[in-house]
Structures are given as C-alpha cells and as structure tokens.
Chain A
C-alpha cells in the first residue's frame, strides 16, 4: 500500500526557514514524479511544486519561486521542501502526493496523498 508521511511543519517567524520531509513507502518511489500541494486554513488547494522522478526537473508556482526548493533522495525514499523567506501567506497544511499524470511538465492528477504537515508563519 502506498504511504506518504509528512513531517517538519511548525511555527516559524516571517522571514524564517523550514524544511519539510515526506517519507514514502509501499511503492517504487524512484519512478514517480512527486509534488507538494498546500491548503491554507479554511481555504482550497494550491499546487506548490513538482519534481521529476530522477530530480532533474523542478517546477514551482510563481508565488514561491526563488524561496522554496523541492528535492528528493531516491535512495532513502524521501521528498523535501526547503522553504526560505517565509511569509504569513505561506501558512498552510502542506501535502506531498504522487503525480498520476504529467502533461508536458505539468502535474494534472494527484493519486496518493500524505496526511499533511501544518506550517504556521507568524510573529
């Protein structure tokens, strides 16, 4: 059974940094594109970033470009999201998910999701 478990969330001050992790198990992690999707409190979903199965391609929503970095360790079956220069508007539950379908470089379907980790940016 596919399982994804996020960790690393917490309370951070504006301008601070945080690194999220997502531990994968139950499937061949190294062949899947992976993604991060976030959900602000009481709000809808927002795609954040994608990474190709081998880590050679990475794509971001405009609002996090230059601040967030997605990466992966296929040996340890881990997905990461390094978040720098955090803003209040980055406050959200961050989910990692497997990408079920890629169109060009766009992930258009998210098949399996973790339970999420809450990031709160506040002074």
Chain B
C-alpha cells in the first residue's frame, strides 16, 4: 500500500480540464513544499512535470499546473489532449522516516 493516496483512474474528453488528487498527511504533503508530479507512458521512464507543489520544469506545457490544500495536492491538466493519456505519480518528502514517498499512480484516459 502506497504512502500517498491517488485515485486509480481519471478520464476526460479532449479540451476538458481534469484534476488528479494526491492525499497524504501532516507529516508529508501537508507539511512540506517538496512535492512533485511525474508522468509515465507505458514502458517508458517517468518524467518530472511539477516540482515544489506548483513549479513546472522548463519544457513542460503550461497546461499542467499544481496546487495544494491541506494534506491533499492536485495536478490539473487543462485543454486535455490525447498525448496526455499516461500514468501520473505524486511524490513527497516525509518526516516519518526522512525519505521520499510516492503515490500509487493514476491512469489518465482521454476519451
């Protein structure tokens, strides 16, 4: 069982906006800004999409945005495109064991 909780799947139509949630605790998501989102296509390596809750690395589309409220962080993808269909993982620093923990992943389907 993953330390951070994500929905198993989310879906949306092209052009729509979707949000993927990642719920943790006051020892991780709710306490620190060291929170990231990764995108992974099947059989491929993960790619960093959001870091420090809201920041986008150079080259990542501004259709991707991050936010947080309490112990839950969210990834929002606006103007959904077919190429966004992938698995998305969240990660956070945790003070429980001073490690980084990941969510179980969310499969995004673009219908």
Contact = CB atoms under 8 A, between A and B. Distances in A.
A115 B91 contact: no
Contact of B93 (A45, A46, A100, A106): A106
What secondary structure prevails in chain A residues at the interface with B?
Answer: strand
A44 B102 contact: yes
B30 to A, nearest CB: 15
Contacts, number: 63
A31 interface: no
A36 B52 CA distance: 21
Interface string B28-49: 0000101010100000111110
Interface string B82-111: 000000010111000111111111000000
User: Number of contact residues on B: which range applies?
Assistant: 20 to 34
B54 to A, nearest CB: 13
Interface residues of A, number: 24
Contact of A95 (B46, B92, B103): B46
Given A44-B89, A47-B99, A108-B92, 9 more contacts: A44-B102, A45-B89, A47-B101, A109-B34, A109-B36, A110-B91, A111-B48, A111-B57, A115-B45
